[in-house]
Structures are given as structure tokens and as C-alpha cells.
Amino acid sequence: MTEALSDNISLSREEMQAALEAVLFASGDPVSLERICEITGTDRDVAKEALDVLSDRYYRDARCGLLVRRIENDYVICTKPEMKAVMDRFFRPRSRPPMSQATYETLAVIAYNQPVTRAQVESVRGVSSDSIIARLLERGWIQECGTLDAPGRPVLFETTKQFLLEFGIESVAEMPALDLMMYSTIRDLEKSLEEAAGSRERKQVSIENLPADPDLPETDQP
């Protein structure tokens, strides 16, 4: 059985796997399912089935250090979590400084309450978060997503697909329920996301009911 392309080229199912692998590898960045359908000339069901097969093949091959991951409606080739130690050594000369507790708190507040304004973040944390939000923007974990219909039209922030990619989850709906102040480092959050992703029981932490932290510092250093 073959899948026809718009320029009269056809691919067998095996060739379809190779074509998808080539597209994802060449892109380097996540590619939307719609774009994949456009490139291959297939419908969504056929393309998704082929991507699922390719993803399963990568996942099951212990000799392969890569994965095909779904990020919302996009797909990307990335390294397996088991390769983290190796990749850390590879990127060590260019590694970023570790995130501080204040940066972690700000990221968590945004992730669990998005879209959220700077003022709302600061109302939770009790201190200015300007420099931390700037750092998160630079790192690509959050982005501006419009303005709030309120005096001054404050900017709204949300997490990005890069955040989902680096934390190993398909969508923000997979984020586990957690008490933000119980996690001392971003590594703890990463571990929690890995263990609890896909859980059916989730509880959103809102800026209205978030517990205050008595040990919260008066000033922040990102």
C-alpha cells in the first residue's frame, strides 16, 4: 500500500517512516501535524498512525538514543531522558547556571495559573519578579500571549512548547497536582512531572488559594 504525494511521488508504509524521520531530523524544531500532512500529502489519521509507529520504534530500540515526542499538536526528534548525563557532559562548556529557588517559584506560578500577569505573579510571591520573568523569557520557557482587559492593559504570560519539550510533557494538562512550596528545586519539579504525567487526578493551584511561604526572601536574585 502506498501514500500518494501531491507531486505524484508515492511512498510505501516503510518509506513513509523514513520520510517522517527525515523531515523531523532536518527540521530540528517541532513540526505540526498539519505541516506533516501537507508535506506527505496524507490525511491526519494516516500521518498520525505513521508517527505513532515511528515513535514506538524509537522508544523500543535500546540501541537508539533518540525519541520521537509529541508536544501538543507538534512532533520532534529529541534525545532520550536516559542520555541526560551524556548530554550534560557534551554541553557542559556552554551550560547555563542552575535556576534559583525564586526562579523556580516564578515558573511554577506561571505554569499553574497561565495566562497570568506580572502583577499576579508578584501577588503570589510577595516580591518583584521583573528580572526573573526576563530570564524565563530569555530561556524560552515562557512567552507573552496578549494583554489583560484591565486598566493599563498588563501583559499576560504563558509557558511555551520549549517548556513542554524540556520538561518531557505533551501539554500543560499533563502537569501533576502539587503544592508549589513543597518543591525545593526545579529538579524536584522535573522528577514530579516525569512520575505523575498522565495522572487523571489533577488539582490546579490558583493564585487565590496558594499558601504563603513564611521563608520567602524579601529580594530575588534570578
Digitized pLDDT (tens) for each residue of the chain, 222 residues in all: 444 444 556 777 778 888 999 999 999 889 999 999 888 888 889 899 999 999 999 999 989 999 999 988 899 998 888 888 888 788 775 556 667 778 888 888 898 888 999 998 888 888 888 889 998 998 889 999 999 888 888 999 999 988 888 877 878 877 776 554 444 444 555 555 555 443 333 333 333 344 344 343 444 444
The per-residue pLDDT for 166 is 80
Question: Which domains are delineated in the chain?
Answer: 2-89 (1.10.10.10), 101-196 (1.10.10.10)
The per-residue pLDDT for 207 is 39
The per-residue pLDDT for 109 is 87
The per-residue pLDDT for 117 is 93
The per-residue pLDDT for 6 is 47
The per-residue pLDDT for 181 is 41
- For the residues of the chain, what is the DSSP string, one character each? -EEE-TTS-EEEHHHHHHHHHHHHHHH-S-EEHHHHHHHHT--HHHHHHHHHHHHHHHHH-TT--EEEEEETTEEEEEE-GGGHHHHHHHHGGGPPPPPPHHHHHHHHHHHHH-SEEHHHHHHHHSS--HHHHHHHHHHTSEEEEEE-SSTT-PEEEEE-HHHHHHHT-SSGGGPPP--GGG--SHHHHHHHHHHHTT-S------TTTPPP-TT--SS---
Nearest to 55, CA basis, from 35, 34, 33, 87 = 33
- Sequence-distant (6+) residues with CB within 8 A of 5 are 11, 40, 41
The per-residue pLDDT for 194 is 53
The per-residue pLDDT for 175 is 76
The per-residue pLDDT for 23 is 93
The per-residue pLDDT for 219 is 40
